[in-house]
A and B are shown apart, each in its own frame.
Chain A
Amino acid sequence: MPLLKVTIDNIEVEVEAGTTILNAARQIGGSVVPPAMCYYSKLEGSGGKCRTCLVKVAQGSAKDPRPMPKLVASCRTLVQDGMVVQNTTSPEVMEARGAITEFLLLNHPLDCPVCDQAGECHLQDLSYEHGLEETRTVEERRTFEPIDIGDKIKLHMTRCILCYRCVMVADQLTDQRVHGVLGRGDHCEISTHIVKAVDNDFSGNMIDVCPVGALTDQTFRFKSRVWFTKPFDAHRECSKCSGKTVLWMKGDEILRVTGRKDKYGELEEFICNSCRFEHKELNDWTVTGPRVIERHSVISQNHYETTAFSKLKKG
């Protein structure tokens, strides 16, 4: 199959047929990559919902150069040969992204100071980059009571942006779906239909795919701000998953175990609940080195010096 040529923000890249604009942009990397709050490459059918990745298609293809009439979700629009896309070079896209950010924050509690996700929250990053300086809403915000999804996961629906990623995890990774969306419109609610716990070896991945602080790890709740912890790559023999994880440490203490995420915040591999929740002793793990956090966000401001690692090795 011949490669397709696409130009994004004046940078040309060749990609295989069937590649989305978003993934073509990721092949280029850097600032041409649109933010994605709901798309998740490892979850089938994800994307298209949050609208943060909207881009302008200034030229549809070499064959049919007409521009597309509306902005399109780059995560769900396939590249055509000769397509010309504008992301940050289009004022219209930047304006729309600001608008989407405003919509996403409209009912968000802005409780970052008490949210475990702060520092690694995609919504926080998005609002730093695209948010307005002042809120334009005076309306009362929508609120929900937090609920326990089993004994390990906490759901703060108030913070949820309804990206559906966790629903897809429940649907695609676990064999028994007890987790869906109830209600409609701005009363939509992630649910476990209603009290059934998600009781499955892989349910903890819902926490990792959540772009905001709606799903958090009960075993880590309020233990530390993430930027005071240091991430290390580690692995163990596991019969259920690859056993490859990241340990988030404070001193010698493992405060949290997560999967390994790439620079777009996506898990490289899903990990099992046993690795995530039940192995919090250092001698459960072989630590291989400090985890470099590539994603630009608050935690990447931290210094993951090797000294911390050598100290750890010496024990």
Chain B
Amino acid sequence: MAKQILLKNIEVPGLAGFDVYRRLGGYSAVEKALKGYTPDQVTDEVKKSGLKGRGGAGFPAGMKWSFIDKKSDNPRYFVCNFDESEPGTFKDRHIGQLNPHQLIEGMILGSYALGANAAYIYIRGELFYVLNIIEKAINEAYKNGFLGENILGSGYSLNLYCHPGAGAYICGEETALLESLEGKRGNPRIKPPFPAIVGLYGCPTVVNNVETIAALPWIVNNGGEAYAAIGTGASTGTKLISACGHINKPGIYEIELGLPVEEFIYSDEYCGGIRNGNSLKAVVAGGSSVPILPADLILKTAKGEPRLMSYESLAEGGFQTGTMLGSGGFIVMDHTTCIVKNLLTFARFYRHESCGQCSPCREGTGWMEKILMRIEGGQGTMKDINLLTDIAKNIEGNTICPLGDAAAWPVASAIRHFREEFEEHVKLQKCPF
């Protein structure tokens, strides 16, 4: 049985209500921290835990917190990134919907550590029903004295707000999120300065993912070292994986980091193998943005070692033969899948979601989609395949925010690993699937 930190009580009926959550030990971390720890001690525990950001980039959370400008006279803000919109990623919703108090408890802990007296949960607009659940939970937390003035008599005060987006993937990029939260058009900001120095309303701000924040209560309750003992050492703790595609048991799984990919795909505890006994063709391991890998490279690294579900093992081999853990959106494709068609779907998404602020992403994403549409539709040329590689290369690294990279990597990797399939589309002048 896998370690359960985030989903331990997830199936308990009524968990979204304050009473059930509290009865199961909820808010004990807030009591522990506010009564026994200084804010810096909370930060230290998070540093010791080795917890990495679960939003996709995998930046160590404790380190990010320590960058916050504490010399500034301005107020500080803690913001939860609940914009979850990456194709294949649907893990944060699970927490928000079924265990909102765990998120709220984490928000209180993070805000306390950072010295923030106002915090925001920025939630994807399409998740309006989750917003309602969270707002109800926030009200309960206020009523029970865990939010508001002078929490538990500690002298620490916190107001927590939940704010819906209006349907833009780009608002998951943390600086676009802050712009949107300020009521502006959600264009990513040019960095530096980073939010830890100039964030919400120009004030020092930390943005963390829902899952990152939901891990905080356990870390405070059990200690950073206990968290760090789980996993591989370099990848500590547990990770939610939202598994979808051609598997027998799609769903959300909490895994201990370091689990072999093969076990994750084939064991009955997790994905339960490929549907209809089909053979595995490819996996997109961390949400639509990360490079796609063919079956042999997702199960084993180029060196022939078993590939593990961890930051370092999935990245082994760089982009030539590796990928990224990303946000944990695990998309499995069997041999009936057309890689070109799948890529076209991704490309259409990025074109639709590009904010249009910087030229490589604005123009390049649309161009790639149009070319892929032609190839899939049987009107592509061999030249188009190289052109796609070129466009992806010209976008990558040259944009304001990583959405450009996110659009370029799937294209570059699909052609790198499945070039024959593109060529077959061109030769046959139609999709072979």
Flag if B359 contacts A100 (CB, 8 Å): yes
Contact digits for B67-111, partner A, Cβ 8 Å, 1 yes 0 no: 000000000000000000000000000000000000000000000
Contact digits for A168-203, partner B, Cβ 8 Å, 1 yes 0 no: 000000000000110111111000000000000000
| A51 CA / B400 CA spacing, docked (Å) | 9
Most A C-beta atoms less than 10 A away, residue of B355, B356, B387, B400 = B356
By a CB distance below 8 angstroms, the chain B residues around A47 are: 190
B85 to chain A, nearest CB (A): 13
Given contact pairs A70-B397, A139-B367, A162-B362, A183 touches B190 in the complex (Cβ within 8 A): no
B405 to chain A, nearest CB (A): 10
Query: A104 is contacted by which of B185, B357, B363, B370 (Cβ under 8 Å)?
Result: B363
| A251 CA / B243 CA spacing, docked (Å) | 74
By a CB distance below 8 angstroms, the chain B residues around A50 are: 358-359
- Total inter-chain residue pairs, C-beta < 8 Å: 89
Q: CB of A103 within 8 A of chain B?
A: yes
B394 to chain A, nearest CB (A): 4
Closest to A102 in B: B394
Closest to B354 in A: A185
Flag if B356 contacts A188 (CB, 8 Å): yes
By a CB distance below 8 angstroms, the chain B residues around A28 are: none
By a CB distance below 8 angstroms, the chain A residues around B168 are: 184
Q: CB of B365 within 8 A of chain A?
A: yes
Q: CB of A76 within 8 A of chain B?
A: yes
Q: CB of B286 within 8 A of chain A?
A: no
Q: CB of B124 within 8 A of chain A?
A: no
Flag if A71 contacts B397 (CB, 8 Å): yes
Query: B398 is contacted by which of A99, A106, A183 (Cβ under 8 Å)?
Result: A99
Considering the complex, which residues of chain A in the window 27-65 have a beta carbon less than 8 Å from any beta carbon of chain B? 47-52, 54
Q: CB of B399 within 8 A of chain A?
A: yes
Flag if B362 contacts A99 (CB, 8 Å): no
Q: CB of B260 within 8 A of chain A?
A: no
| A70 CA / B190 CA spacing, docked (Å) | 14
Flag if A186 contacts B387 (CB, 8 Å): no
Query: B365 is contacted by which of A99, A102, A136, A185 (Cβ under 8 Å)?
Result: A185
| A18 CA / B299 CA spacing, docked (Å) | 50
Flag if B360 contacts A103 (CB, 8 Å): yes
By a CB distance below 8 angstroms, the chain A residues around B357 are: 49, 162, 164
Q: CB of B341 within 8 A of chain A?
A: no
Flag if B359 contacts A183 (CB, 8 Å): no
Counting from the closest, the 5 A-B pairs by CB-CB distance are A99-B394, A188-B356, A185-B354, A48-B190, A103-B363
A residues bordering B, Cβ < 8 Å? 47-52, 54, 70-71, 73, 76, 96, 99-100, 102-104, 106-107, 136-137, 139, 142, 161-162, 164, 180-181, 183-188
| 29 A–B contacts, CB within 8 A, in A order | A48-B190, A49-B357, A49-B359, A51-B358, A51-B359, A51-B360, A51-B398, A70-B397, A70-B398, A96-B398, A99-B360, A100-B359, A103-B360, A104-B363, A107-B363, A107-B366, A162-B356, A162-B359, A164-B357, A180-B185, A183-B356, A184-B170, A185-B353, A185-B355, A185-B365, A185-B366, A186-B351, A186-B363, A186-B365
